[in-house]
Chains A and B, each alone.
Chain A
Amino acid sequence: MNRRSSRPLLAPILIAIAGIVLVLSLSSGLPSAAEGPLSTALTPLQELFSTLGKGIGDLFRSAGELQDLRQRVQALQRQVDELSIENLRLREFQAEVRQYRDLLNFASQNPIYDIVGADVIGIGARCTPEDSNRPGVGVCANVVAGDPSPFIRYITINAGRQHGIRVGMPVVGGGLALVGRVGQVNESSSHVQLLIDPNSYVNAQVVSSRATGVVAGQSDGSLHLQNVPQTDALQVDDIIVTSGLGGMLPAQLPIGRVERIISTDAALFKEAVVRPAVDFNRLEIVLVITAAPGMTNTLQLP
């Protein structure tokens, strides 16, 4: 920077502005006030870039994961076959039940009419943020961005205040596995604090032993189950779910499995590395649970 500047006051002015904004945001929570209009404008663009990035990412990944994909395809094919058979049985069963119900109703109310059976209709489950008005349905959202800061782990989703999203609401992925919680809400987008964020703490329970603990995100992106009393049983492959304690999250949302126990017998509490049920690298669509029994959504996240 040994060039002569044509604007000698530029540097101090800019630093002063940035410093004042920073002090204001640290003291009075400026982010949510400032982000509203900009986030509304940026979200569609971020969606576009995110889609583009996913396309590029898939291209690279597909080449590297060909072998893995082949094995997975075979395994999934077997699973599909089994599920297809099971699905067929269930359809038959459902149709049979409905038929019996109709038969009973019509037979009792209109004994002179013929009874008409009905086909079982498959239910398509595709939701969009606009589904938020339907009671009992979570808000579905696309992941449109990651946080530029390498020290925190947040994602941006394209559902916000206008879709009924509030701070603290749980966000789940495939199989209702917990992804994280809404940390900040803008008009049409929200920042979601991932489970693996170093400031994320979730009350958890071990399914098999009913032991409770806290699942905490780590700086290296791993998940640890902490504060499990030494007297409680904890084994590799144990399933960890949310305990529902504290009222922030509904109970029984899958978090992951115990991968490795890292505490010693001499420690006060047991600690284990948890393999998350969600692949945080491939989050594309998530569901925000807007209401559940016992959920209060009143706490602010760090």
Chain B
Amino acid sequence: MRWFIAAFMFLLGLVLAETSLLPAVLGSALRPSLVLTCTAVWVALRGTDGLLWVFVGGFLLDLSSNTPVGLTSFGMLIGNIVAGLVDRAPIPSATARAATWVALVTVVSYGLHVGGLALSGLQVDVPYAITNVVLPLMVLNSLLAVLAYAVLKPISERLERSQAGRTIVL
């Protein structure tokens, strides 16, 4: 239970940093998606069990955004599922695998995001969105994924050890 509360607070902190801290620091410049990156790295580390946090993070972002509720969480979930399906490719480095995973999630989830916005009647310049937003964010988020992986990997290992220990005791 304590682990869930800590994870939720961490995610809430990421959402606040993404919606309030980064805009104040970077202005209207392109900003990396902290929630997308961290949750995608977490799924890459933990498997489908990590999808719960993708859903929670995406939903929190949805509620801070003026886009239709569910659009971000749905896009991020599908992005992670697609990344999981493509994950069969042999990538020797675990960090590179996480970065690739995040790149795929970024492309798929923002692609769905653009589609959803268009579906809801909002005007989106699709070629501009792809070349000037999605592709740069793919690079930006992938770079951030390297840092996120370095932070989340020990946490995942620790969690795994504690779960294994609990299983033995049981």
Q: Smallest CB–CB gap between B165 and chain A, Å?
A: 16
Query: Which residues of B sit under 8 angstroms from A50, Cβ to Cβ?
Result: 20-21, 23-24
Task: State the CA gap A146–B24 with chains docked (Å).
Answer: 8
Given A15-B81, A18-B74, A219-B132, verify A45-B55 contact (CB < 8 Å): no
How many interface residues does chain A have, given as a range?
A: 35 or more
Q: Smallest CB–CB gap between A26 and chain B, Å?
A: 5
Given A11-B48, A22-B69, A53-B24, verify A149-B19 contact (CB < 8 Å): no
Contact with B along A132-158 (1 / 0, CB 8 A): 000000000000111111111111100
How many interface residues does chain B have, given as a range?
A: 35 or more
Whether A146 contacts B23 by the Cβ 8 Å rule is yes
Whether A11 contacts B68 by the Cβ 8 Å rule is no
Whether A18 contacts B21 by the Cβ 8 Å rule is no
Contact with B along A28-53 (1 / 0, CB 8 A): 00110011001100100111111111
Residue from the list B23, B48, B78 in contact with A7, Cβ < 8 A: B48
Whether A152 contacts B117 by the Cβ 8 Å rule is yes
Whether B55 contacts A18 by the Cβ 8 Å rule is yes
Task: State the CA gap A47–B19 with chains docked (Å).
Answer: 10
Whether B137 contacts A150 by the Cβ 8 Å rule is yes
Query: Which residues of B sit under 8 angstroms from A146, Cβ to Cβ?
Result: 19-20, 22-24, 28, 31
Query: Which residues of B sit under 8 angstroms from A236, Cβ to Cβ?
Result: none
Whether A10 contacts B51 by the Cβ 8 Å rule is yes
Interface-side segment among A54-62, A113-121, A262-270: A54-62
Whether A151 contacts B77 by the Cβ 8 Å rule is no
Whether B24 contacts A14 by the Cβ 8 Å rule is no
Q: Report if A3 contacts B (CB, 8 A).
A: yes
Query: Which residues of A sit under 8 angstroms from B137, Cβ to Cβ?
Result: 150
Whether A148 contacts B48 by the Cβ 8 Å rule is no
Task: State the CA gap A2–B65 with chains docked (Å).
Answer: 32
Query: Which residues of B sit under 8 angstroms from A218, Cβ to Cβ?
Result: 125
Q: Report if A224 contacts B (CB, 8 A).
A: no
Whether B74 contacts A219 by the Cβ 8 Å rule is no
Query: Which residues of B sit under 8 angstroms from A154, Cβ to Cβ?
Result: 65-66
Whether A10 contacts B77 by the Cβ 8 Å rule is no
Given A11-B77, A31-B69, A156-B19, verify A151-B47 contact (CB < 8 Å): no
Show the binding face of A for B, using Cβ within 8 Å: 1-8, 10-11, 14-15, 17-26, 30-31, 34-35, 38-39, 42, 45-54, 56-57, 60, 144-156, 183-184, 191, 193, 196, 198-199, 218-221, 280-282, 302
Show the binding face of B for A, using Cβ within 8 Å: 12, 15-31, 33, 35, 43-44, 46-49, 51-52, 54-55, 58-59, 61, 63-74, 77-78, 80-81, 83-84, 87-88, 110, 113-114, 116-117, 119-125, 128-129, 132-133, 137
What are 26 A-B interface contacts by the 8 Å CB criterion?
Answer: A1-B48, A1-B84, A2-B84, A7-B49, A10-B49, A15-B78, A18-B73, A18-B74, A26-B120, A31-B66, A42-B16, A52-B21, A57-B27, A147-B66, A148-B18, A150-B31, A150-B110, A151-B113, A151-B114, A152-B65, A152-B117, A155-B23, A156-B64, A281-B28, A281-B29, A302-B123
